[in-house]
Structure 1
Amino acid sequence: MTPNTKAPVRRKRMSRAERESQMLEVAEEVFAEQGYRATSMEEIAERCGVSKPMLYEHFGSKDGLLLAILAILARARAELHHVTSEAMALGRDPLDVLYRGLVAYYSFTRDHSRSFALLMHEPMALPDATIEAIEDVRRQQHGLIAPVLASQAPHLDPVQVEAYTEIIIGACERISLWCTRRPEITPEEATRYTLDLCWSGLSGTINPENDISGS
């Protein structure tokens, strides 16, 4: 070898687990960018630097690839429930409980923005198992929010509590998606915007003495 000749750079050989992790990370990114329906296995393989047959060898199909991502999201869902419920447990009153819970929720969806965008952008194009995973997250959040409303306003009909809770959940999803397009919005700001509308709108029904402006 002459003095000016450089030795060839050897690429580190990935283990199967490392390769799968890379594929899942790239696939999540592409799904979030383009949507599930428009994404091709060819593009994912190209971005990963592997052949399409290798991608199929690891995951079987595009649905199989998405289901593998969902397995990761299932663990993230458990983490979301833990983080949100722990934050809400520190609340001093119903408004503070919701505030802490929403900050935890928006912090989580910001940190997992690609996964969240993937699930929310085109749910009707996703496999049934994926749609069920989305509903699991909603049921989980419902179980945290509804008791707060019910305890603060025991006179409310259960159907009212259910309806108000679903309204809050829907608002949170839309704000989370909006924050993916406005990354400068902090979880605290997103929470304030949500409560400005939701809590103020419910204040007459739940407790007229609660005033968000004084929190």
Structure 2
Amino acid sequence: MTTAADSSDRVPRIRLPRERRGQQLLDVAERLFADHGFNDTSMEEVARAAGVTRTVVYGHYATKDAIFIACLRRARADLEHRLSELIQANGQMFMGEAFERVIEVFFQILEQDPGRWAMLYSTGPGLSEDVVNHVTTLRFDTVNGIADVIGHCVTEMEPDRINAYAHAVSGVTEQLGNWWLANPAASRGRVVALCRDFIMDGFSPWTDSRRGHESPSEPHSAASTHIAFSNAAGEPGPGRAVDRVGEL
């Protein structure tokens, strides 16, 4: 007799090559993790949403931790690929330009796919030690990508300073991303500018008397190689706030 628990094993499915099926399962799982959080997403729900049996899902990913980690790896690989393209496409860059372009990469991802951003910065309860360790390792890999951009721009900077600054840029960008999710009326250009100004100048307009009363919102000089980025029509972004970031 067939029970309700076996229902997912009777779902009709379309046969796909193994590699394509694996990517489809990641697409489905990533959306479920983003919408419902890690704890409230099951392998059976992944199977149902993908239109396959649980056996197929387990044939690709042995556990929920495994498919979650695979989603994280894919999202991080996309981020790191975009960072590496900055060096390959732009040659030598000034520091101000480099920071702005790194920041732009992060906030483009957030604007285009807030759920993926939530995946990239998963920290909530319910994650196993193995998942947490993978999250930490992947974050450090991204920091190394930022360090590569900094080192490419300022070849004379000492390695420990490059590494420390890369961690600082990553942390500031992550927290401003969370702020943007809570304040979606701000445009991407505005958020990029705020992040750039903080990284490049910090509180110096208020603490360095030599700068007088210059407004921190005024454009930088040409020496700072300021490039104003904005989305196509200055629309506010991101399109939707992810309410369950802390649960991922």
Superposition pairs for residues 171-186 of structure 1, below 5 Å? 171-180=172-181, 185-186=186-187
The DSSP-based 3-state class of the residue aligned with 1:36 is: coil
Q: Quick check: 47-56 or 177-186, which moved more?
A: 177-186
The alignment's TM-score, normalised by the length of structure 2, stands at: 0.62
1:3 aligns to what?
none
Cα distance in 2 for partners of 1:78, 1:90 equals 19
Report whether the alignment pairs 1:131 with 2:133.
no
Indicate how the Cα distance of structure 1 residues 172 and 82 shifts in structure 2: closer, same or farther if over 3 A, else same.
same
Letter of the 2:74 partner, please give it. Answer: I
The DSSP-based 3-state class of the residue aligned with 1:129 is: helix
Superposition pairs for residues 143-154 of structure 1, below 5 Å? 143-145=148-150
Structure 1 contact 94–148 (Cα < 8 Å) conserved:
yes
Structure 2 contact 147–162 (Cα < 8 Å) conserved:
no
1:101 aligns to what?
102
State which of 61, 64, 81 in structure 2 corresponds to 1:62. 64
1:5 aligns to what?
none
Cα distance in 2 for partners of 1:86, 1:187 equals 24
Q: Quick check: 175-184 or 194-203, which moved more?
A: 175-184
1:39 aligns to what?
41
Deviation at 1:159, TM superposition (A): 6.4
Deviation at 1:62, TM superposition (A): 1.1
Structure 1 contact 88–101 (Cα < 8 Å) conserved:
no
Cα distance in 1 for partners of 2:203, 2:71 equals 37
1:49 aligns to what?
51
Deviation at 1:106, TM superposition (A): 2.0
Structure 1 contact 24–69 (Cα < 8 Å) conserved:
yes
Q: Structure 2 unaligned segments of length 5 or more: list them.
A: 1-11, 221-248
Indicate how the Cα distance of structure 1 residues 75 and 28 shifts in structure 2: closer, same or farther if over 3 A, else same.
same
Superposition pairs for residues 12-91 of structure 1, below 5 Å? 13-16=14-17, 17-86=19-88, 89=91, 91=93
Cα distance in 2 for partners of 1:159, 1:112 equals 33
Deviation at 1:137, TM superposition (A): 0.8
Deviation at 1:117, TM superposition (A): 0.9
Letter of the 2:140 partner, please give it. Answer: E
Cα distance in 2 for partners of 1:78, 1:165 equals 13
Letter of the 1:176 partner, please give it. Answer: G
Structure 1 contact 195–212 (Cα < 8 Å) conserved:
no
Q: Structure 1 unaligned segments of length 5 or more: list them.
A: 1-10
Deviation at 1:42, TM superposition (A): 2.1
Aligned Cα RMSD in Å?
3.8
Deviation at 1:61, TM superposition (A): 1.3
Structure 2 contact 75–120 (Cα < 8 Å) conserved:
no
Structure 2 contact 151–162 (Cα < 8 Å) conserved:
yes
Indicate how the Cα distance of structure 1 residues 44 and 182 shifts in structure 2: closer, same or farther if over 3 A, else same.
farther
Letter of the 2:58 partner, please give it. Answer: Y
Cα distance in 1 for partners of 2:107, 2:199 equals 16
Report whether the alignment pairs 1:195 with 2:196.
yes
Higher helix content, 1 or 2: 1
Render the CA deviation track for 1:75-131: whole Å, top value 9, x for unaligned: 31441222333576464x432332233223322443454333113132672512333
State which of 198, 213, 218 in structure 2 corresponds to 1:213. 218
Letter of the 1:135 partner, please give it. Answer: F
